[in-house]
């Protein structure tokens, strides 16, 4: 019996290794080799086209760390991270709470709120740029209409405002996802828990804090994780909406990388930006990944 | 769950709020739809309504992006199916093995999540050329599978962790091996999770521009995102056709969502909160 | 149900993928031309040129690969191709320094022979030749000219207020003042690192003169010297002081919408604006017209696209590429392209008959300027790319906050970069 168990164990392990082999090899080639290549490139000066490149050591990094442009970009990326972790998450949760529970036309509401998530960023930014036109655009027209003319903004043209404007458009897109995750999370909370609490005389607020929110923890992990990663990689919406402008005020790491590499032909420097982006993401998201790995263990065997 | 008691007034308030929020979310889409029917002269005023429904933009748009939609379908459908499958294949052992052993591999695969794609462009090109998949649609499938591994593994690993252990034990008693269990029982039982992940993956593959630009070399392989981009960067911006073709390009994704949304909602978290 | 849907979609996918395996392979056999003229009038223009080329010479048969995006995306695609993909025989390049960057990396071949055959030296203005010449050799064909120093104005508003197009900066300021007094914003502008910079060229030309302009471009003049200070001050007093409210929040086309609505009366922009205004229902010569920005002489500042020739192709590609370039430089090829695109043929032997009202006028201006040797290339494209980009971004920031301190700061910063660029030998030599 024991021998049989052991041989089964061995067979199981063989199958597991077989299953993992393909993905791991693919991962090694796609990620490890590529990142190594980029790290190497970041130590060179290369215009991207010449057959030759020159080794420059850490020069690219040194000039990056000295530049005010890079500093501003790092700060912008951090702003995006904070924004993504807080705003679309909370808004998605609120809308999910609002819609949960036998409203008629649920399907329509759900579709409308989710739809922006799947629209391509090029189209999103084209529409939102219209909404943001200072004179005649929807936002300023509405603000003027309700009598707060002083509050009209130069949405994409003011260096102090532009980041928030792009974020608002991103919020429109991202909320659909968090909403749907929370909505399905709410659906799967066992009804008995809430009934029981209600019979015990708990208030809706306390039910929310003590029962609903803990039950939504898996949803929160999913949303926060994916948004955190999106925030560190953010590119499309910024690039197509503001191009990082005006005067580079809304640049993020990925758009700066692109601009440096392909508009001003400094591939080594662009690679250095990429490596910094990678390290930053690793430092900021690593704790989260570790948490996930551990949490999964708790649930596992 | 239903937290709200059925107080009619509260219910009415919720309706009002829901309608209001949906309206706000709908406004940008409405602007796009209305604009798609406008002539260039009417487009100069964002908030105006078109005098009559001009379908010219849709004709122009379709000419420009029709082929792209087809290309995108050829890229997206197999890429999504394969990447979800490979993610499941990786996730299965990780969900079954004991923690100490799987932790390292799992952690390692997840670390791919924070690699910005812009930096892998050149190496990816080299690799794909070396294996002869440069400028082929299957080449794009491979790339999307490879770069989808972290997210797909993460997602499916979480899903599998919540499939009741008893299922596996029952299968074992029936003489089902570990591989047989995966294909015959676990995968079919995880369809909701697979559907949910498919929507997330479809969206990122469908919207990809970077890999498409790196790895394709002709209009025959250009996806719809690239075709759309062509409208904006031309010196004569054509917003009408852009809006019309954006709408065209969203329709396949919308269909996918409507088709799978029940499963999506059920599967997003897997059984994890059962 | 769900499983069946999946099964069905897998089958569809399989069918599609079998189809997907074949077409790209065929497309590689013919030599290619790459461009980012991918939609609308631009795409039409290119196919008109390709048809003319094919009709003229069977060898000049290239396959078009559209690159989605613009110069940066083209660069990205070429970079990959030169690493070992399939580089095109001919591709759309920017002028001057952008072209030089390709030459420097050893990826282009000189086309002096084609240039001689099409009598380039005679048929193109010296200012235009400068945009395709590096170290005395020609590397590309100038395909289309866009004039970027014309100021478009709303004719009806001017008529109502009894204004005439200004010829000097003083007149310009007076016109702007009248407009302002009557509640109309004088001058439109848009965000982005190009437009504001283009708006400085008339002021730079009028203070530095053509010679000084070229000196600045070739790195032989300081950015923070008295001349540039004066030029930027002139730009500030004439243009910046009269920009419409919140200009930095507009794209060039949404700013054009303000012009169409009559909210703003003037707009210095490339002549693609004319096509936009026409599409928006304004009539050229009736509702709008243009005057050259008052830079002193009748300089015409041009922006152009160049067809560049790669050195990497095999014999067949080289032959086809050169045959194609020959047609592209000829009057026929140039007209076929430019009539569709709404730009002007740089080859001065191309006839003017078929242009529209705006095109005829622009063509005349170009001809006069060619005769006077006053065709001036876009400064941004003459400067080393990094410096041009920095200038573009700095000028946007400065124009939003035009204080004397900000001006000093900007010019000093540019001068630092100018010195760096000299050390790197990055400036153009003609």
Instruction: Give φ, ψ of C91 to 5 degrees.
Output: -145, 160
Q: Tokens 């980029």 sit at which residue?
A: A38
Using one digit for the tens of pLDDT, what is the confidence trace for C318-377? Answer: 899 999 999 999 999 999 999 988 899 999 888 888 888 888 888 888 888 888 889 999
Distance to chain B for A245, nearest Cα, Å: 16
Report the pLDDT value the prediction gives residue C300, as an integer from 0 to 100: 92
Give the integer Cα–Cα distance in Å for B123 and B147: 13
Minimal Cα distance from A189: which residue of B? B1
| Mutation for C interface: A135, A152, A254, A269, most C CBs within 10 A | A135
Report the candidate in B75, B212, B177 with the shortest Cα–Cα distance to residue A8: B177
C396 contacts on A by Cβ (under 8 Å):
245-247
Which secondary-structure segment (H or E) carries C151? strand C150-154
Give the integer Cα–Cα distance in Å for A216 and A224: 12
- Residue A255 pLDDT greater than 70, yes or no: yes
Report the pLDDT value the prediction gives residue A295, as an integer from 0 to 100: 67
User: CB-CB: which of A37, A232, A300 is closest to B161?
Assistant: A300
Which secondary-structure segment (H or E) carries C423? helix C404-423
For the beta carbon of residue A82, count every other beta carbon within 10 angstroms: 10
- Residue B217 pLDDT greater than 70, yes or no: no
Task: Write out the two tokens for B158.
Answer: 């979480």
Contact check, Cβ <8 Å, B116/A274: yes
Task: Write out the two tokens for A229.
Answer: 């990663």
**What angle in degrees, to the nearest 10, is found between the helix axes of B56-96 and B191-206?**
130
Task: Write out the two tokens for C164.
Answer: 């005439």
Using one digit for the tens of pLDDT, what is the confidence trace for B228-240? Answer: 877 777 666 678 8
Report the pLDDT value the prediction gives residue C301, as an integer from 0 to 100: 94
Report the pLDDT value the prediction gives residue A300, as an integer from 0 to 100: 43
B161 contacts on A by Cβ (under 8 Å):
296, 299-300
Give the integer Cα–Cα distance in Å for A242 and A154: 13
Report the pLDDT value the prediction gives residue C13, as an integer from 0 to 100: 45
Give the integer Cα–Cα distance in Å for C194 and C138: 26
Using one digit for the tens of pLDDT, what is the confidence trace for C1-16? Answer: 444 444 444 444 444 4
Non-local (6+) Cβ contacts of B61 within 8 A are: B36, B241, B242, B244, B245, B248
Q: Tokens 């991918």 sit at which residue?
A: C38
- Residue C145 pLDDT greater than 70, yes or no: yes
| Mutation for C interface: B236, B253, B263, B267, most C CBs within 10 A | B236
Average pLDDT, chain B: 83
Quote helix, strand, coil % in chain B, to nearest 5: 80, 0, 20
Report the candidate in B66, B72, B64 with the shortest Cα–Cα distance to residue B241: B64
Q: Tokens 């070739």 sit at which residue?
A: C218
What three-state secondary structure class fits C284?
Answer: strand
Minimal Cα distance from A142: which residue of B? B47
| Residue C388 near residue C164, CB atoms below 8 Å | no
Report the pLDDT value the prediction gives residue C269, as an integer from 0 to 100: 95
Report the pLDDT value the prediction gives residue C20, as an integer from 0 to 100: 43
CA separation, residue A257 to residues A201, A280, C320, C365 (Å): 57, 14, 36, 41
Radius of gyration of chain A (CA): 24
CB pairs under 8 A between B and C: 156
Q: Once rounded to an integer, what is the mean pLDDT over residues A166-172?
A: 96
| Residue C212 near residue C177, CB atoms below 8 Å | no
Using one digit for the tens of pLDDT, what is the confidence trace for B136-176? Answer: 888 899 999 999 999 999 888 888 877 787 888 888 888 88
Report the pLDDT value the prediction gives residue B184, as an integer from 0 to 100: 87
B45 contacts on A by Cβ (under 8 Å):
136
- Residue A285 pLDDT greater than 70, yes or no: yes
pTM: 0.88
Using one digit for the tens of pLDDT, what is the confidence trace for A202-212? Answer: 888 888 888 88
Instruction: Give φ, ψ of C128 to 5 degrees.
Output: -80, -40
Give the integer Cα–Cα distance in Å for C20 and B221: 8
Non-local (6+) Cβ contacts of C99 within 8 A are: C93, C108, C131, C132, C134, C139, C140, C306, C308
Distance to chain B for A173, nearest Cα, Å: 9
Band of pLDDT at residue C18, cut at 50, 70 and 90: very low
Contact check, Cβ <8 Å, A98/B147: no
Q: Once rounded to an integer, what is the mean pLDDT over residues B175-201?
A: 85
Residues of chain A numbered 69-88 and touching chain B (CB < 8 Å): none
* Cross-strand partners of C152: C267, C290
A246 contacts on C by Cβ (under 8 Å):
191-192, 248, 396-397, 400
- Residue C222 pLDDT greater than 70, yes or no: yes
User: A8-12, B26-30, B85-89, C64-68: which has the minimum mean pLDDT?
Assistant: A8-12
Task: Write out the two tokens for A265.
Answer: 């032909």
- Cis upstream peptide for A246 (omega within 30°): yes
Give the integer Cα–Cα distance in Å for B65 and B215: 19
Q: Which regions of C254-377 does DSSP assign to beta strands (E)?
A: 264-268, 288-292, 300-309, 375-377
- Residue C247 pLDDT greater than 80, yes or no: yes
A119 contacts on B by Cβ (under 8 Å):
29, 246, 250
């Amino acid at each position: 019996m024991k021998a049989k168990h052991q041989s089964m164990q061995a067979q199981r392990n063989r199958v597991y290794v077989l299953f993992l082999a393909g993905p791991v090899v693919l991962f090694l080639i796609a990620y490890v080799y590529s990142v190594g290549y980029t790290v190497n490139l970041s130590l060179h000066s290369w215009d991207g086209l010449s057959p030759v490149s020159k080794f420059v050591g850490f020069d690219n990094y040194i000039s990056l760390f000295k530049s005010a442009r890079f500093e501003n970009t790092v700060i912008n990326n951090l702003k995006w991270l904070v924004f993504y972790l807080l705003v679309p998450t909370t808004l998605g949760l609120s809308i999910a709470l609002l819609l949960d529970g036998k409203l008629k036309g649920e399907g329509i509401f759900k579709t409308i709120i989710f739809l922006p998530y799947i629209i391509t960023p090029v189209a999103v930014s084209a529409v939102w740029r219209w909404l943001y036109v200072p004179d005649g655009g929807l936002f300023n027209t509405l603000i003027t209409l309700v009598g707060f003319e002083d509050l009209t903004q130069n949405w994409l043209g003011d260096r102090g405002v532009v980041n928030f404007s792009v974020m608002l458009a991103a919020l429109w897109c991202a909320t659909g996802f968090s909403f749907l995750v929370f909505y399905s999370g709410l659906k799967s909370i066992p009804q008995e828990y809430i009934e029981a609490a209600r019979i015990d005389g708990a208030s809706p607020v306390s039910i929310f804090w003590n029962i609903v929110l803990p039950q939504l923890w898996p949803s929160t992990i999913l949303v926060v994780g994916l948004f955190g990663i999106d925030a560190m990689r953010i590119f499309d919406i910024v690039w197509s909406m503001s191009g990082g402008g005006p005067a580079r005020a809304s640049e993020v790491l990925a758009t700066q990388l692109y601009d440096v590499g392909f508009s001003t032909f400094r591939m080594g420097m662009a690679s250095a930006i990429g490596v910094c982006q990678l390290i930053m993401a690793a430092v900021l998201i690593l704790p989260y990944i570790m948490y996930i790995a551990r949490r999964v263990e708790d649930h596992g065997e | 769950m239903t937290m709200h008691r059925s107080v009619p007034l509260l219910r009415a308030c919720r309706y009002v709020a829901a309608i209001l929020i949906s309206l706000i979310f709908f406004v940008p889409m409405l602007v796009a739809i209305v604009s798609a029917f406008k002539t260039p002269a009417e487009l100069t005023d964002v908030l105006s309504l078109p005098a009559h429904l001009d379908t010219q933009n849709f004709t122009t748009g379709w000419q420009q992006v029709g082929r792209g939609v087809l290309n995108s379908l050829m890229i997206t459908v197999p890429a999504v199916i394969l990447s979800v499958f490979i993610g499941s294949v990786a996730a299965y052992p990780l969900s079954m093995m004991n923690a100490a052993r799987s932790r390292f591999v799992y952690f390692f695969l997840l670390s791919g999540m924070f690699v910005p794609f812009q930096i892998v462009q050149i190496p990816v090109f080299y690799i794909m050329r070396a294996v002869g998949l440069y400028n082929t649609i299957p080449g794009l499938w491979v790339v999307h599978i490879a770069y989808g591994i972290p997210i797909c593994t993460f997602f499916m690993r979480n899903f599998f962790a919540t499939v009741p252990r008893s299922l596996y034990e029952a299968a074992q008693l029936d003489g089902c091996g570990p591989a047989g269990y995966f294909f015959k029982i676990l995968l079919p039982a995880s369809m909701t999770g697979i559907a949910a992940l498919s929507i997330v993956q479809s969206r990122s593959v469908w919207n990809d521009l970077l890999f498409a630009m790196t790895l394709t070399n002709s209009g025959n392989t250009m996806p719809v995102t690239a075709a759309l981009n062509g409208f904006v960067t031309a010196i004569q911006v054509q917003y009408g056709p852009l809006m019309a073709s954006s709408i065209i390009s969203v329709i396949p994704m919308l269909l996918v969502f409507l088709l799978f949304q029940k499963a999506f909602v059920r599967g997003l978290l897997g059984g994890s909160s059962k | 149900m769900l499983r069946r849907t999946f099964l069905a979609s897998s089958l569809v996918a399989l069918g599609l993928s079998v189809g997907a395996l074949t077409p790209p392979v065929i497309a590689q056999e013919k030599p290619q031309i790459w461009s980012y003229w991918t939609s609308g009038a631009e795409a039409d223009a290119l196919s008109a040129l390709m048809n003319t080329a094919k009709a003229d010479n069977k060898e000049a048969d290239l396959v078009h690969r559209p690159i989605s995006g613009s110069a940066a995306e083209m660069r990205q695609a070429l970079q990959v191709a030169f690493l070992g993909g399939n580089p095109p025989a001919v591709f759309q390049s920017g002028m001057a320094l952008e072209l030089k960057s390709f030459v420097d990396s050893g990826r282009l071949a000189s086309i002096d022979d084609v240039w001689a055959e099409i009598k380039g030296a005679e048929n193109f203005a010296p200012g235009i030749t400068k945009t395709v010449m590096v170290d005395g050799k020609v590397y590309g064909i100038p395909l289309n000219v866009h004039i970027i120093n014309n100021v478009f104005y709303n004719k009806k508003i001017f008529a109502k207020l009894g204004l005439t197009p200004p010829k000097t900066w003083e007149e310009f300021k007076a016109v702007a003042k009248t407009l302002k007094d009557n509640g109309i914003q004088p001058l439109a502008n848009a965000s982005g690192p190009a437009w504001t910079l283009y708006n400085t060229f008339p002021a730079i030309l009028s203070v530095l003169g053509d010679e000084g302009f070229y000196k600045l471009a070739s790195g032989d003049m300081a950015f923070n010297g008295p001349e540039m200070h004066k030029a930027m001050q002139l730009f500030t007093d004439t243009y910046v002081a009269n920009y419409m409210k919140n200009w930095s929040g507009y794209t060039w086309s949404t700013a054009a919408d303000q012009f169409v609505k009559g909210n703003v009366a003037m707009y210095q922009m490339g002549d693609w604006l004319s096509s936009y205004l026409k599409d928006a229902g304004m009539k050229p010569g009736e509702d709008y017209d243009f005057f050259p920005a008052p830079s002193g002489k009748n300089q015409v500042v041009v922006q152009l696209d160049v067809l560049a020739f790669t050195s990497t192709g095999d014999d067949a590609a080289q032959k086809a590429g050169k045959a194609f370039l020959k047609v592209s430089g000829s009057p026929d090829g140039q007209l076929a392209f430019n009539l569709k695109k709404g730009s002007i043929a740089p080859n001065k032997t191309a006839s003017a008959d078929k242009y529209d009202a705006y095109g005829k006028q622009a063509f005349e201006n170009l001809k006069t300027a060619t005769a006077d040797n006053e065709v001036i290339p876009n400064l941004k494209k003459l400067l080393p790319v990094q410096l041009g980009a920095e200038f573009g971004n700095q000028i946007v920031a400065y124009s939003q906050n035009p204080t004397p301190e900000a001006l000093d700061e900007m010019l000093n910063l540019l001068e630092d970069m100018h010195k760096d660029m000299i050390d790197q030998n990055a400036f153009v030599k003609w």
